[in-house]
Structure 1
Amino acid sequence: MDAAEKRNKLISLAKGVISNPANENEIKYLLHRFALTEEDLIQAYLDWDLSPDSYGNEIYDFVPIRFAMYLHYLLPGSWHEARQDIITNILDDYPSGTIVDVGFGAPQRYIKNLVLKYDNFKLTLCEPYQSAFAFSEILLSYWNSNWRRKITFKKYDMDKDGYVGDFDTYLFLDSIEHSQNPSKYLTSLVKKSPAAAKFIFSLPVEWTTAKSEYINWSSDNEALNWLRSCGLDVHFSKKIEINPEIDVFAEGSHYHQLIVECSKINPGR
C-alpha cells in the first residue's frame, strides 16, 4: 500500500482499539488523566509506526508514545497480542519468584493476569525514561490500587548502570537490541546472575535495524546462536509471524518475532 493508504489503515486500527467496548472506559480514563485528546493519541500511534527508521531511543521519553505502545498491546490479531499470550503462558508455569522486566515499554498482559492477580511474583519494571513510569503508574492504579505491594519501578539504563541485580527471571521483550552493545551487556549479565535464573526474550528477526536498535538477526538460528554465545542454553523458542492486515508497519518485509526461554549454560556464578 502507498503512504496515504498505510496512514489511513493505521488510523483505522487505532480508532478501532479506542472504541472497542472492552477498552473504551480504560482509554477514556487515561486520556483524561494525561490531558490528551483522541487525536493526540492517534498522532503518537502514527509517529511510532510510520517511520521506525527515522527516530532513535529519544522518542520513548514522551508519555503519548508510551500510550501508543500500550494501544498496540490491545490490538486484536497483532503480533503484540500473540507475544503477550506466550509470555503469560511461560510465566504461568513458574511456581513463584522475582521478575525483572528490562526496558518494559508499557505494562503488558502478564502483569494484569498474573502478577496482580496472584501472590506468586514480585516484579521490578526497568526503564531509562521517566515517561514509562509516569504512564504505568496511572494504568497500574486503574488496574489495581494495591499494585505497589508487588511491583516496583527502577530507573535503569543498560548502557550506564551496570548489573541490574539478582532475580529469578529476566525479561527482555523487544529491549535487548536497544543496548548500544547487546552482546557485551548480556554476557556480563548472564555471568553475574543467579545460578538458576531464567531468561525470556522477544527478539525481532529479519528486521532492518532502526536508529534505536544496535543489533539485528537475519534468521532464527542466528538469534539462537547469539544467545548461546552470550552463555545461555535455549529451552524453548516460538516464532510469531506478523499479521499483514494488522501489523502494517512491517508491510513487505519478512519480519517476525522469536520468543525464547533460556537458562545459564554454566550455572556457576
Structure 2
Amino acid sequence: MKTITNQYILVNTDFSKTGTIAVLHGIKLSILLNKNLYLININNKKIGENKNKLKIISENIHNEYNIEVAYDIIPGKPEKLNEIKSIASGLKKNIDPLLIIIGINNNIKGLLKLIKISKTPIISIQNKNLTKDFYNNIIVPMDFLKEAKEKLLWAIYFGKNIGSTIHFLFAEEKDEYLHQKSEDNLMFTKKTLSNYPNIKYKIHKINRGKKSIDECALIFTKEEIPGLIIIMRNKNYIFSRPEKKIILNNEKTSIMCLNRNENFYVPCI
C-alpha cells in the first residue's frame, strides 16, 4: 500500500479488549485514508515485554494489510495519557498525526484532559466490536454556534476521502435568535457542500426538546443509522464536561471530538 509521507493514524493501546478494538479502528482508517499507523503503549512496567507485544502486533498488521506500522513504548501512567500531547503535536518522533484513537479503559480523566489541549481530533473507542460498514456513515450534530462549521469541514474530509454518507442533524430551535443562527449554519453547510458535488449527504431536522443536539445524535445512531459521531469540545461547562456523557454513552458508539481550531484547518480538504 502506498502511504503519504510520515502522516500517521496514532493509536494508544493497552492490549485490553478495548485497546485491541482501538487498533482495529486504526487499521480500518489507515486503509480507508491511505495513512501510516503508529501504535503506542503508555507504561512504567513490563516495558520490554510490552514493546515485544507491539512489535508482534505491528508485524502482523504489516503482513496482513501491507500497512507501514511504527510503534513505541511511552514511559508514564497508562491512565493519564500525558505523553500523547507531545507526540500528537509532532514534538516527538517526528510524526504528523492526522487522528488519535484511544480505547477507554479506566482513563476517562486523562482522556478529557487530553481532549482539552489536543489540536489533533481524538476518536474515543469503547468495548464494542467494529463493524465492516461503521465508517460508511458520519453523524454530525450541528447547532447554532459558529464552531459547528469546523465539524462540517471534517465531515467533508471523510466524505471526500472515504465516500461516507454525511448525516447533518439540525435542531428546530423555538427561540427566534437561536433558530436564525441555526438556519445560518444550515445555509453555510449547503453552500459549502455545493463545492463537493460527489459527497453524499442528508439533512435531518431534529426536535431536540430539552436534549442537546449531541444527545440527539446518540439517539439517531441508536434508532436510525449507526456511525461515527463528530462533536466539539464544550468550553463553557459549569459542573461537568458535557462531552464526558457523550463519550461514555451507553450504546458504546465511537465519538470523534474536536477542539476549536482558529485557522479552520483540515488536511487535504
TM tier relative to shorter chain? 0.3 to 0.5
TM-score by structure 2 length?
A: 0.36
Structure in which a larger fraction of residues adopt helix: 1
